[in-house]
Amino acid sequence: MHATSSTSAGADGEGPAAAAARLTGRAATGERRLSGALTEVTLDGGLTVMVKRGDGAGAVRAEAAGLRWLADAGAVRLPAVHGDDERWLVVDLVAQGPPSARAAVRFGRDLAALHGAGAPAFGAPPPGGPRDAYIGRAPMRNATGSDWPRWYAEHRVLPYLRRAVDAGTVRAAEATDVERVCERLPELAGPAEPPARLHGDLWNGNVLWGADGQVRLIDPAAHGGHRETDLAMLRLFGCPHLEAVLDGYRQVAPLAEGWAGRVGVHQLFPLLVHAVLFGRGYAEQALEAARRALTG
């Protein structure tokens, strides 16, 4: 899920090359448009960066703060932030290569270390990041809590369920299955765990397999959460060598008993976000995940 704009220039007419030069203090010597929101820019001295045009100050601030917070853990690799403001984000360009089992195991270990770096509370935003952030194009409020089942229900699942019902994407009668999962979360959530430092939008598109054999993560919706949520999102949309990732993860931080049976509970949040953004097909997947959780 991506928080991007369909235009490449700001309201003041500034383009990505000019923005990169202004934010880095280095002259731009070339640019290559990759999409409406992403441009590869070459700077004086040969540094090549990715320049991203955000939807607004909240989206750009949240992403930049998230990248820095995750990088501060010294675990998973992320593209370095070279500059950001209310409209533009300038980061390292990642040279990509093929996925490999060896890189996957290392990524799993690094992801476990990232989660282990912790967060002040469930829902805690990155330092300097806004409370009102985004996951993709959907608003995501980083209200904090100390009890994961209650926080997850109140601040992750139910807000998107209500939006989906209001839009007619989920029928009111169907919503009761998701509401019942939320009511039963204290028993469905497994053993209590401390807040983990989450990427927060860890689908396969945000996992870049580097040409140097190391994985890098992009486009975070970083916050304090339950570590199983990141792992459940990796499974939701498929990730190359996922079992190797999980093997590496468990070498560093074993998962609590019954974690595999809780995957659907953790997938409710991203599925409902997708239902709000993309429609009925994802709503049906969310409802199926809720029913599986209720029937065990």
DSSP 63-101: HHHHHHHHHHTTSSB-PPEEEE-SSEEEEEPPPB----H
pLDDT at 55: 75
pLDDT at 8: 53
All domains in the chain, ordered by first residue:
16-92 (3.30.200.20), 101-295 (3.90.1200.10)
pTM: 0.93
Residue for token pair 């509370």: 121
Buried b (16+ CB within 10 A) or exposed e, 21-31: bebbebebeeb
Instruction: Quote the DSSP letter at residue 259.
Output: G
Task: Report, as residue numbers or ranges, the catalytic residues.
Answer: 201
Q: What is the pLDDT along the chain (296 residues), one digit of tens a residue?
A: 544 333 455 546 799 999 999 999 999 999 999 988 999 999 999 999 999 998 766 889 999 999 999 999 999 999 999 999 999 999 999 999 999 999 999 999 999 999 999 999 999 999 999 999 999 889 999 999 999 999 999 999 999 999 999 999 999 999 999 999 999 999 999 999 999 999 999 999 999 999 999 999 999 999 999 999 999 999 999 999 999 999 999 999 999 999 999 999 999 999 999 999 999 999 999 999 999 999 97
